[in-house]
């Protein structure tokens, strides 16, 4: 068994898949996944939803909460849902969330349209919403 075959076997063992470009990824972290009120614990917005994964001791999470709340208040039909990453480890693992804050932009059907890690700028959030609306 050559080193590439061993690496592939090791990746499959730990729940990762090797893509054609050589990178590994976590199954289920694809952009085609749909999220609903059952997974998030709150209702989705009529036009789009901003989902924020945060933790208790994350300083950028507080600023992200403020920015997403302002955008959701300005744009009609957009909801902001905050998910505690420590309390929802099943959802964090299923979506491949690696750091907080991570923001997912969902369209009206609950499909993930955009995804970003770190504190976003207000202009970037509005631009990402343009794809969902």
Q: 41-94, pLDDT tens digit by residue?
A: 999 999 999 999 999 999 999 999 999 999 999 999 999 999 999 999 999 999
20-27 long-range contacts, CB within 8 A, separation 24+ = 25/96, 26/96
Separation between Cα atoms, residue 106 and residue 118, nearest integer Å? 17
pLDDT given at position 33:
77
- Using CA atoms, how far apart are residues 64 and 29, in angstroms rounded to an integer? 22
11 pLDDT band (50/70/90 cuts)?
very low
pLDDT of 7 > 80? The answer is no
């Amino acid at each position: 068994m050559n080193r590439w075959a061993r690496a592939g076997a090791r990746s499959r063992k730990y729940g990762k898949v090797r893509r054609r470009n050589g990178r590994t990824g976590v199954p289920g972290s694809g952009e085609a996944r749909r999220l609903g009120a059952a997974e998030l614990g709150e209702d989705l917005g009529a036009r789009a939803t901003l989902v924020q994964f945060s933790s208790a001791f994350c300083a950028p999470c507080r600023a992200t909460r403020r920015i997403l709340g302002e955008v959701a208040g300005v744009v009609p039909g957009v909801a902001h849902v905050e998910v505690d990453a420590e309390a929802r480890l099943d959802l964090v693992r299923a979506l491949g969330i690696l750091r907080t804050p991570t923001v997912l932009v969902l369209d009206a059907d609950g499909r993930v349209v955009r995804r970003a890690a770190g504190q976003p700028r207000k202009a970037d959030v509005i631009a990402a919403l343009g794809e969902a609306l």
